[in-house]
Structure 1
Amino acid sequence: MTPRIHEPFAKRGGIPLVEKLVHDIDEQLEQTIDAGERARVMAIVRQCLTATLGRPESRAADVENRLAVSYLKPSEVIAQGLVAMSQATLYRAVEDARFYCVTPRGKAIGRAFPAWQFAPPVPELLAPVLRQMTDLPSSEIHAFWVTPVDAFDDLTPAEVLAGRAFESRVALSAAQRGHLAQAANERQGRVIAQLAALPSRSSDLIS
C-alpha cells in the first residue's frame, strides 16, 4: 500500500511554531475585527493549534498507535493471539465475512491476512461492511480498504474504520485527525456510505 502523503510543516515546530502562527494570524485579523472579538477568536485559534502542533508527546503516542501494513499467515494470526480461534475457525470467520484474506503476493494459491483488521476496534466494526462485499474478489476487497479517499482527506477506509492511521503514513493533518476522532459508529457508517458510492455499486443500483 502506498498512501499519497504530504508531511505538513507542523513537524518543524511544537510550541514555538504555535506562538508564531498565533502572532501572524492575530496581525492579519487586526484590521478586520474589533479587539474584543479578535481576542475570542484568537483564544480558539491558540487552543486548536496547541492541540494539533504543541504536544510532541501526543504525536509520539500517535505513532505507536498505528495500524500495521503487513500480511500474516493464518498460523501467525493464531500464534500472535490476534483471535481466539483455531485455524479452521479463522477460515470459517472469513466465510462468514468477519475477516478477509488475500492470495499471498507472487503466489497462485494460499491465504494471507492483512494485519490491520485485527487491531482494536476493527474486529467489532468490520463485519457489517464485509457482508456488503461478499460478491467481490478478495483483491478488490483489499483495494477498497487501502485506497486513499478524497472524502476522507486522503485517509483510507481502513484507517477511518479503525480510527487509527497506517504506520506507513508520515504525518496526519488536522482534518485527518478529525476523521479518526469521530465515534466508532460514525466512522463505520461513513465507510459503508463510501462503499455504496463506488461506481460499481452505483451501476448495480441503476441496473
Structure 2
Amino acid sequence: MEFDMTPRTHVPAAIAVGPQLVEKLVHDIDEQLEHTIDVGERARVMDIVRQCLTATLGHPGSPAADVENRLAVSYLKPSEVIAQGLVAMSQATLYRAVEDARFYCVTPRGKAIGRAFPAWQFAPPVPELLVPVLRQMKNLPSSEIHAFWVTPVDAFDDLTPAEMLAGKAFQSRAALTAAQRGHLAQSAGERQGWVIAQLTALPSRSSDLIS
C-alpha cells in the first residue's frame, strides 16, 4: 500500500519577492513612524518589523535555491537508492538497514510484493535523525509508518513529521507560512524531539511503543 506524499493542507502560492521589497516596506514604515516615536525606540520597532516581513514575504535568496532545498516526494527502487549513491551499501545491506529500523520502505503501488523507498528519508540531515524515531515504530506495518511521516500535524502548523524532522518542506507544498518557517528553523535536535513527542502522544501507539 502506498500513500500520497503531498501534504493535505495547501497554501496559495506566494508571490516571489526579494529582499528589495522587504527593505522598501521597512523604509516606508520607518518614515511613517519618524515623528511618532523617538529614534532609539523606532530602531527597535523597525528591527521587529523587518524580521516579520522577512518571515512572511520570504527569506532572501533565489526561488530556485529554495526549490532545490526541498524534500522529494518520489519513491525509489532499492537499485535506484544504491545507483544514486544515497547510501554506501549493497542491496542486501540496505534491506538489513530496514530490518534494523535505519530506513523504511513500502510496497509499490499496485503490487502485492516488492519494496519502494520514500526518497525524502535519504536527504541530509534525515538519516542521522531518523533511527530513534523508526525504532519506536519497529512493530508497525510499513503503511502505518509511512502514514505517520506524511500526515500533516496541527501542532506543527500542518507540516508533516517528515518535513519537521528534515527541516525542509516537500516539493509539493506550494508555500510556507511564517509559523511553518519557524518550525523548520529550529535545531535538528529540537525538531527530532518534537517528532518523537508527536509519535509518543498518539493514543493508539504510545502504550505499545514506549518501554
TM-score, length-normalised on structure 1? Answer: 0.85
Give me the whole-angstrom Cα distance separating, in 1, the residues matched to 2:94 and 2:69: 25
Q: Tell me what 2:190 maps to.
A: 186
CA distance in 2, matches of 1:178, 1:192: 18
One-letter amino acid of the counterpart of residue 83, structure 1 = V
When residues 127 and 54 of structure 1 are mapped into structure 2, their CA distance, relative to the original with a 3 A threshold, is closer
Change (3 A) 1:54 1:179: closer
SS of 1:42's equivalent? helix
Question: Given the alignment, which residue of 119, 140, 145 partners 1:141?
Answer: 145
Distance 2:175 2:142 in 1: 29
Q: Aligned residue for 1:5?
A: 10
Number of equivalences? 202
In the TM superposition, what is the alpha-carbon distance from 1:172 to its structure 2 partner? 1.3
* 2:57 pairs with 1:53: yes
Structure 2 residue 41 is matched with structure 1 residue 16: no
Deviation at 1:62, TM superposition (A): 1.5
| Structure having greater relative contact order (Cα 8 Å, sep ≥ 6) | 2
Does residue 152 in structure 1 map to residue 119 in structure 2? no
CA contact (8 A) 1:63 1:167 kept: yes
Q: CA deviation at 1:40?
A: 1.9
Give the direction of change, closer, same or farther, for the CA distance of 1:26–1:165 in structure 2 (3 Å limit).
farther
The CA deviation at 1:204 is 4.7
Equivalent runs, 1:168-187 vs 2, <5 Å: 168-187=172-191
Cα drift, residue 56 of structure 1: 5.4
1:12 CA displacement: 5.3
The CA deviation string for residues 123-152 of structure 1, in whole angstroms up to 9 with x for no partner, is 111010000001210000000000111111
Q: What is the CA distance between 1:17 and its match in structure 2? A: 5.8
| Residue type at the aligned position of 1:75 | S
- Taking the aligned partners of 1:203 and 1:107, their CA distance within structure 2 comes to 32
Alignment of 1:1-207 (within 5 A): 1-3=5-7, 4-7=9-12, 9=14, 11=15, 13-14=17-18, 15-16=20-21, 19-20=24-25, 23=28, 34-36=37-39, 37-50=41-54, 53=57, 57-202=61-206, 204=208
Give the SS at the match of 2:137: coil
| CA pair 176-162 structure 1, distance change in 2 beyond 3 A | same
Cα distance, 1:52 vs structure 2: 5.2
> Does the C-alpha gap of structure 1 residues 68 and 132 become closer, same or farther in structure 2, counting only changes over 3 Å?
same
Distance 1:201 1:54 in 2: 37
| Structure 1 unaligned residues grouped into runs of 5+ | none
Cα deviation for residue 122 of structure 1 reads 0.7
> Contact 1:26–1:42 at 8 Å: present in 2 too?
no
Distance 1:83 1:202, change over 3 A: closer
User: Which letter does structure 1 place at the counterpart of 2:12?
Assistant: E
CA distance in 1 between counterparts of 2:16 and 2:76 reads 36
